[in-house]
Amino acid sequence: MEESPKLILVQKKMRWKEALDYCRNQSTDLASLLSHDEMLLAINVSQAAQTPYVWTGLLFVVRTWIWVDGNALEYQAWPAGGTPKCPDKNHHCGTLGKNDNIWKPGDCEEKRNFLCLRQWKG
């Protein structure tokens, strides 16, 4: 059996933690974008968002960025300056820009649309 990811854009405006809880209550998780192909899919799906940036499963914890579902952070799509080393206090949650196609730290208390990633057996 193969597992295939499916990205779901949730057009509700929630804080990052609320979005995480929402996804997990739906048997999913906030999206991890592990490859260029997944990034392209996420950008495509995000075009219908009502917010310019959507929440992803990126989180800044103990001086490093992680995917909350435990996946390794190998593929990265930060702006030209590279990985933000020390984002502002409230900007510890990762967003994907639907127009600039990059990741940025976001204020975890802002309400945004978000991407859930569901695994299913095919």
Share above pLDDT 90 across residues of the chain, in percent, rounded to a whole number:
73
At a CB cut-off of 8 Å and minimum separation 6, what does 39 contact? 33, 75, 77, 96, 101
Domain ranges of the chain: 3-121
Q: Are 51 and 112 in contact (CB under 8 A)?
A: yes
Q: Average model confidence (pLDDT) for the chain?
A: 89
Tell me: pLDDT of 92 over 60.
yes
pLDDT in tens, 34-60: 999 999 999 999 999 999 999 999 999
Q: Are 112 and 14 in contact (CB under 8 A)?
A: yes
Superfamily of segment(s) 3-121: Mannose-Binding Protein A, subunit A (3.10.100.10)
Record the pTM.
0.91
Question: Where do the H-state alpha helices sit in the chain?
Answer: 16-25, 36-46
| Predicted local confidence at residue 83, as pLDDT | 85
